[in-house]
Chains A and B, each alone.
Chain A
Amino acid sequence: MEHDKKFSVVNPSKMCQPMGAVQALLGVNDTMPIIHGSQGCSTYIRFQLTRHFREPIDVASTSMSEKTVIYGGEFNLMKALKNVSEKQSPKMIAVTSSCLTETIGEDMEGIIEKFKDANFDKNLPIIVPISTPSYVESHVEGYNRTIKALVENLAESSTPNGKINIINGILSPADVKNVKQLLNDLNCPNIMLTDTSENLDAPLSEETLGLYKDGTTIEEIQDTANSLGTISISKHADSAATFLEQKYGVKSVSGPLPLGIENTDQFVNNVCELTGIEVPESVKKDRGRLLDAMVDAHSYNYHRKVAIFGDPDFVSGMTRFTSEMGMTPTVVCTGAKSNKFTEDIGLIASQKGIDPVVLAGNDLYDMHREIKDAGADILIGNSYGASIAEEEKIPLFRVGFPIFDRMGAQRISTLGYNGGTEFVDRLTNTLLDFYYDEAGYELEKSEEIIEEELFAEGEFV
């Protein structure tokens, strides 16, 4: 679908690379991210993350100012490394760049080496530089580059560990937990890249204060070179998997995000193929429960038009899942330009007999226009969809990032058989709340919609 609007973005459906980088780093144990840029980068990102996860989020900044922009940020980066090393004393510091420092051509690696040399006699944290220019691609690529940088800097070949590496992509802590649980149910030892499930959904007790205490450990990242294989459930974050395959011969499998029956089956098959595990009875039962939920809910979902937006793997996964449920995806939108995404949607469309408007590299303004044309009974996406849903008088089912106008963003489950079951129930209940009366009968307003459609299709003309 081509638009005449080409130059600007109106209400973006993507963020910048450092945001994806920070989200990946918050799943690493005892690690402090530093954004080498102006104070705003770190503050804006913390603001978004805090209001979504409702957890204290620390991200350091090198607080670049006019002068340092002219003379280079060496002093600021050295100072920040010193202050974070001394005050927070993390095991690892990950330094991401920003549009500012990329534009002035800052040599981050050189400065980090200089810092290490100057403190050769001290016990320093591991320091990993990550290049994340905000003017290249989006937060999805920032996540990808960060996982790759972690693995490149840390992975070490030793003895085979029989584990599977999983590259998650940007997921809710609950969904990371769902993936972990499914692997545990399959008796598949694993290394999560990265594991945000505890750090970003922390229990309230004094012990949770201090630096990110849980998450993937540095030793685990080192050990990724010795695994049986890597499954990137985010196809757009598989660079580290390719690296591990090329350098250490760790087999790489890309996708799919285990969203819905078919994708989760595929994921389980991938795990079984890599490990030779047989699917245990308990997992088969969970699968059966998801099928049961989908069958029980089918009459409320059938032919409901759905518009979906968010990160590319989420949107394609959700397109398949809602199609499995009998819904009709009419508009699917992601902010990232991605051929993988367009191909995925094309395949799903041909398999499922749907014909959604596909927006890749587009924004919420484009999506809104398409929804007006193609229609939607429900919108699935983050809080930025609220005003569109309000204007179109349809419900917004909140999944993704950021969600700042509802509680529990960190506990939204969609992945695996169990997460899928929860999703089917909640989505269907949202439709019931909106389109049905308290006795479970469809409200008149949706019948009117159907009549309008019939007219539009020429039945009564």
Chain B
Amino acid sequence: MPYKLLEVDKKIPQRKNHVYVKHCSDPEDEIPDCNTKTVPGSMSERGCAFAGVKGVITGAIKDVIHVVHSPIGCTSYGYGTKRYPTTPDMPNGEKFPIDNFNLKYILGTDLQESDVVFGGMKKLKKSIIEAHKEFPEATAIYTYSTCTTGLIGDDLDAVAKETSEELGIEVVAFNAPGFCGPSQSKGHHVGNLTLFENLVGTKEPLETTPYDVNLIGEYNIDGDLWIIKDYLEEMGINLLSKFTGDCSHDEICWMHRAKLSLVRCQRSATYIADLIEEKYGVPYIKVDFFSTKYCAENLRTIGKYFGLEEEAEKVIESRMEKVAPEIEFYKSKLQGKRVFIFSGGPKSYHLSKPLEEELGMETVAVASQFEHKDGYEKMKSRVKEGTLIVDDPNSLEFEEIIQVYKPDLILAGVKEKYLAHKLGVPCLLIHSYENGPYMGFEGFVNLAKDMYRNIYSPVWSMLEFEEEPSVGENAEVHEDSSEKQETKPENTGELA
């Protein structure tokens, strides 16, 4: 059976369907159960829909101000969490007056008990007016519902419409309260739909060229987007709109005028590419710029589409000349190292093969917080027989996977990093990076370098518990649990 019940999941047997070991003779649609509700009390690493829309989709936009309609928590935690830098450059050639405006400010309605009882719409309206007064430079105001305001039924769309007319500035409402959907993925979807319905097609670009593209689902983590932008511009391709890394509000409004959409993060943003294709006939292709091979392949595809094949070759050649010797070096160092990739979604399939083919590593396990069926199919197709594929792993499973699969390196997020450290395994931040960017040719070298530095640091050899007996599939997962059970009588039967 390809589905695997981990030791720690014995008491939650429904987790078995989320853990799959690739078996090549299985039918193709044999993949982990995914995009379903999280089991309560299972210690999931997932976030909420609000985090999906504000933290991923809209947080990267350089010239809007965000008003979170919530008690203090969501506003506080939605502030300064992600690293997506922006330039002050606006499409009309002017400069936005505040650097990295998207990282610097967040507004919230700081709801009090009386607002929960009597409704918070008045307060939201006043806050939006205030946002405009305090930040007159912002091109638009985005406002977000959260668990509480979703529950008390505040009508954000009505407030947005009213304030928009009053202030003469666009006010867009995002209705993704934290409780909707199984994970942050729902928020990505709401973000796509809201931006499409409210903005796309409402403005015209200042100028167009025959080589205009939308780069969709690229959020400029640590400067990823700027690398790809350079390549495309060298080829003669114009980034008409970005969605949403280093982008301005207006760019989204004229996405319908591009000749082609390129979809980078296919989990969080294929929605809008589909909608634009359907309504405006702009075709899209799914692209992958991680690693030299995928990057070259995809630049060639784009070149071919626009008849710019030679230009694409030039870009590839000039970059490969620079990075090839470095990649050779890192390959010699990373050869045979076992890696476990636990990303939010697509990076698990973007990176699994390149790490093996270009750096000689071995991908022993892949996992994702919120990937859907199509993503898991791709993930499965890009790993070899015997690789573990896990949907929404929790911290106990994470621990067991490390102990059983013994990776030399983990690519994951900050919540997992220090648990890995305690287990004596280096863990590189793959959501927001360490010394990125990691995309494109140069980016892949940065990634290789960071992996090398993580694995080869002498600190790991100082740890004394390296020679612990290995944990077999039937052994106790960690010694604590057996000790604990001695001091506390074990429950014999199932709890109700």
A56 near B481: Cβ-Cβ < 8 Å: no
| A259 at the binding interface (Cβ < 8 Å) | no
From B47, B123, B152, B423, A7 is in contact (CB under 8 Å) with: B123
Task: Give the residues in chain B near A18, CB-CB below 8 Å.
Answer: 73
Which residues of B (66-83) have their CB < 8 Å from a CB of A?
67, 70-77, 79-81
Question: Which B residues contact A (CB, under 8 angstroms)?
Answer: 8, 11-12, 37-51, 67, 70-77, 79-81, 103-113, 115-116, 123, 126-127, 130-131, 134, 146-148, 151-152, 177-184, 395-396, 399, 414-415, 417-419, 421-424, 463-465, 468, 478-481, 484-485, 488-493, 495-496
Task: Give the residues in chain A near B44, CB-CB below 8 Å.
Answer: 39, 43, 61, 63
Known: A9-B107, A12-B110, A119-B496. A63 touches B40 (CB 8 A): yes
Question: In this complex, what residue of A is CB-closest to B495?
Answer: A82
A12 near B178: Cβ-Cβ < 8 Å: no
| A104 at the binding interface (Cβ < 8 Å) | yes
What distance in Å separates the Cβ of B66 from its nearest Cβ neighbour in chain A?
10
* Bound CA span A206–B486, Å: 19
Task: Give the residues in chain B near A89, CB-CB below 8 Å.
Answer: 481, 484-485, 488, 490-491
Question: In this complex, what residue of B is CB-closest to A62?
Answer: B40
A14 near B147: Cβ-Cβ < 8 Å: no
Known: A79-B39, A83-B40. A8 touches B67 (CB 8 A): yes
A135 near B127: Cβ-Cβ < 8 Å: no
Number of interface residues of A (CB under 8 A): 89
B48 near A38: Cβ-Cβ < 8 Å: yes
B11 near A65: Cβ-Cβ < 8 Å: no
| A457 at the binding interface (Cβ < 8 Å) | no
From B107, B113, B468, A133 is in contact (CB under 8 Å) with: B113
* Bound CA span A85–B493, Å: 12
A38 near B109: Cβ-Cβ < 8 Å: no
| A428 at the binding interface (Cβ < 8 Å) | no
B182 near A65: Cβ-Cβ < 8 Å: yes
A48 near B113: Cβ-Cβ < 8 Å: no
Task: Give the residues in chain B near A64, CB-CB below 8 Å.
Answer: 179
Task: Give the residues in chain A near B80, CB-CB below 8 Å.
Answer: 383-384
A50 near B415: Cβ-Cβ < 8 Å: yes
Digitize A72-98: 1 where CB-to-B-CB distance is under 8 Å, 0 elsewhere.
000011111111111111010000001
Task: Give the residues in chain A near B77, CB-CB below 8 Å.
Answer: 15, 44-45, 47-48
Task: Give the residues in chain A near B491, CB-CB below 8 Å.
Answer: 85-86, 89, 122-123
Digitize A109-141: 1 where CB-to-B-CB distance is under 8 Å, 0 elsewhere.
000000100110111100000000111101000
B72 near A79: Cβ-Cβ < 8 Å: no
What distance in Å separates the Cβ of B76 from its nearest Cβ neighbour in chain A?
5
Other CB < 8 Å A-B pairs besides A100-B151, A103-B147, 5 of them?
A10-B134, A18-B73, A69-B179, A83-B39, A83-B40
* Bound CA span A208–B37, Å: 31
B414 near A9: Cβ-Cβ < 8 Å: no
17 inter-chain pairs at a CB distance below 8 angstroms, sorted by A residue, are A5-B130, A10-B107, A16-B72, A38-B48, A41-B48, A51-B414, A61-B38, A61-B41, A65-B179, A65-B182, A66-B180, A85-B491, A103-B152, A122-B493, A136-B112, A213-B480, A335-B72
B422 near A83: Cβ-Cβ < 8 Å: no
Task: Give the residues in chain A near B123, CB-CB below 8 Å.
Answer: 7
| A60 at the binding interface (Cβ < 8 Å) | yes
What distance in Å separates the Cβ of B327 from its nearest Cβ neighbour in chain A?
31
Task: Give the residues in chain B near A118, CB-CB below 8 Å.
Answer: 495-496
Question: In this complex, what residue of B is CB-closest to A76?
Answer: B40
From A39, A48, A202, B48 is in contact (CB under 8 Å) with: A39
| A58 at the binding interface (Cβ < 8 Å) | yes
B37 near A63: Cβ-Cβ < 8 Å: yes
Task: Give the residues in chain B near A250, CB-CB below 8 Å.
Answer: none
B43 near A60: Cβ-Cβ < 8 Å: yes
* Bound CA span A383–B423, Å: 28
* Bound CA span A82–B126, Å: 44
A119 near B495: Cβ-Cβ < 8 Å: yes
From B76, B179, B421, A15 is in contact (CB under 8 Å) with: B76
B40 near A80: Cβ-Cβ < 8 Å: yes
| A231 at the binding interface (Cβ < 8 Å) | no
* Bound CA span A19–B183, Å: 21
From B72, B131, B415, B480, A47 is in contact (CB under 8 Å) with: B415
What distance in Å separates the Cβ of B64 from its nearest Cβ neighbour in chain A?
14
B116 near A206: Cβ-Cβ < 8 Å: no
Task: Give the residues in chain A near B151, CB-CB below 8 Å.
Answer: 69, 100, 103-104
Known: A8-B107, A10-B106. A100 touches B178 (CB 8 A): yes
A91 near B488: Cβ-Cβ < 8 Å: yes
From B79, B115, B399, B415, A209 is in contact (CB under 8 Å) with: B399
From B46, B76, B147, B177, A43 is in contact (CB under 8 Å) with: B46
Task: Give the residues in chain A near B415, CB-CB below 8 Å.
Answer: 43, 46-47, 50, 57
What distance in Å separates the Cβ of A12 from its nearest Cβ neighbour in chain B?
5
Task: Give the residues in chain A near B148, CB-CB below 8 Å.
Answer: 99-100, 103, 134-135
B465 near A206: Cβ-Cβ < 8 Å: yes
Task: Give the residues in chain A near B396, CB-CB below 8 Å.
Answer: 87-88
| A204 at the binding interface (Cβ < 8 Å) | yes
What distance in Å separates the Cβ of A31 from its nearest Cβ neighbour in chain B?
13
What distance in Å separates the Cβ of A106 from its nearest Cβ neighbour in chain B?
11
Question: In this complex, what residue of A is CB-closest to B50?
Answer: A40
Task: Give the residues in chain B near A136, CB-CB below 8 Å.
Answer: 112-113
Task: Give the residues in chain A near B71, CB-CB below 8 Å.
Answer: 16, 99, 133-135
Known: A44-B51, A205-B464. A384 touches B79 (CB 8 A): yes
From A11, A66, A208, B422 is in contact (CB under 8 Å) with: A208
A7 near B50: Cβ-Cβ < 8 Å: no
| A302 at the binding interface (Cβ < 8 Å) | no
A11 near B495: Cβ-Cβ < 8 Å: no
A12 near B183: Cβ-Cβ < 8 Å: no
* Bound CA span A66–B190, Å: 15
* Bound CA span A44–B70, Å: 14
Task: Give the residues in chain B near A37, CB-CB below 8 Å.
Answer: 147, 178
Known: A5-B134, A10-B107, A134-B71. A79 touches B76 (CB 8 A): no
| A365 at the binding interface (Cβ < 8 Å) | yes
B134 near A61: Cβ-Cβ < 8 Å: no
Question: In this complex, what residue of A is CB-closest to B114?
Answer: A135
Q: Which 10 A-B pairs have the closest CB atoms?
A: A40-B48, A16-B73, A80-B41, A83-B41, A210-B480, A56-B419, A8-B127, A44-B77, A80-B40, A135-B71
| A34 at the binding interface (Cβ < 8 Å) | yes
Task: Give the residues in chain B near A181, CB-CB below 8 Å.
Answer: none
